[in-house]
Amino acid sequence: MPHAYVTLVTNADYAMGAQALVRSLKLSGTGADIVVLHTGGVASGALRPLAALGARLVEAELLPTSAAFNERHQRAKLHADAPFTKGNKPSFHTPLDNFAKLRLWQLTDYERVVFIDADALVLRNIDRLFSYPEFSAAPNVYESLADFHRLNSGVFVARPCEKTYDDMLAMLDRPDAFWRRTDQTFLQAFFPDWHGLPVFFNMLQYVWFNMPELWDWKSVSVLHYQYEKPWERDHPKAEKLRPLIDLWHAYHWGEGIPDIDRLENPAGAT
Ligand code: UDP
Ligand code: MN
């Protein structure tokens, strides 16, 4: 099987996220493998539902980065040196863990992979992404036009290759390197000529209230819950995001999943 969707799970919270994602991928009717890269510390009870949904579990360790690198990217330090001013990261989010995404370049059984964050849902079939080139990603749009300069690393197309992986590690852990938005900042630097995907392949939840005119349920293929997670209890933006949170829970439980084309767009959509 030359194609796979890949996600990453380093703790039980993201395993919960992956459960909704894997179910959504299955429902999209994909013919590709679904791989969950997980670290050794994730409880087997948290992983079992993913296997039951048909995912292939692949254990992968965090990257062998230096102690100094790990120190610079440690949660409290990163939050102090590069504060998040637009939204909140949940307490179970460890920035250093993000870099383990790069392990997917070692999955060389696959000719192409589409990486998707564990906090996303695939709402319609996106298998055509496997014929897109490395490196393809959607822009990090959730506030303004200026967002189009940057990519969001929650969804991307890649070609596994050991040489690429080795080159990445060499560039990643250079003396004093500080990647303020972790893998996202790194991938943009490693692939300066990245190919842009339409925003609908990685629709960020804040678009719902910041740029409602961009929303169209008939076009959204991947919905990505960046910042606060839909399974967090009563987070500060929960009321504003209620319809999106309800949708996530439907996929998580596998009950009451609506026809996406018939959902109501936010007030202000055109
Ligand atoms: N992740 C993880 N454990 C962590 C942090 C991140 O497994 O402690 C994985 C998970 O797949 C997650 C992705 O890395 O979806 C990126 O983190 P997140 O989605 O929280 O970042 P955001 O989309 O809010 O920028
Ligand atoms: Mn995410």
The CATH number of the domain covering residues in 3-201: 3.90.550.10
- Which of ligand 1's atoms lies nearest the C-alpha of 184? 25
Q: What is the pLDDT of residue 268?
A: 82
Q: What is the pLDDT of residue 1?
A: 59
Parse the chain into domains and list their residue ranges.
Answer: 3-201
Question: With b meaning 16 or more CB within 10 Å and e meaning fewer, what string describes 50-59?
Answer: beebebeeee
Ligand 1 center to 214 CA (angstroms):
25
Outline where DSSP puts E strands in the chain: 3-9, 33-38, 56-59, 112-116, 120-122, 136-139, 151-158, 195-196, 203-204, 222-224
Pocket test for ligand 1, best of 6, 7, 8, 73 (most atoms within 8 A of CB): 8
The closest alpha carbon to 22, from 92, 111, 119, belongs to 119
Ligand 1 center to 270 CA (angstroms):
31
Ligand 2 center to 120 CA (angstroms):
7
Q: Are 21 and 7 in contact (CB under 8 A)?
A: yes
Record the tokens describing residue 63, joined without a space. Answer: 């990257």
If you take atom 21 of ligand 1, which residue's CA is the nearest one? 226
Q: Are 7 and 16 in contact (CB under 8 A)?
A: no
Ligand 2 center to 134 CA (angstroms):
20
Per-residue pLDDT tens digits for 197-256: 999 999 999 999 999 999 999 999 999 999 999 999 989 999 999 999 999 999 999 999
Per-residue pLDDT tens digits for 46-84: 999 999 999 999 999 999 999 999 999 999 999 999 999
Q: Rounded CA gap, 78 and 81, in Å?
A: 5
Q: What is the pLDDT of residue 226?
A: 98
Ligand 2 center to 75 CA (angstroms):
16
Is the full-model pTM beyond 0.85? yes
Pocket test for ligand 1, best of 74, 86, 101, 119 (most atoms within 8 A of CB): 119
Outline where DSSP puts E strands in 81-213: 112-116, 120-122, 136-139, 151-158, 195-196, 203-204
- Which of ligand 1's atoms lies nearest the C-alpha of 95? 5
Ligand closest to CA 103:
1
Q: Beta 112-116 vs 151-158: how paired, if at all?
A: antiparallel
- Which of ligand 1's atoms lies nearest the C-alpha of 9? 7
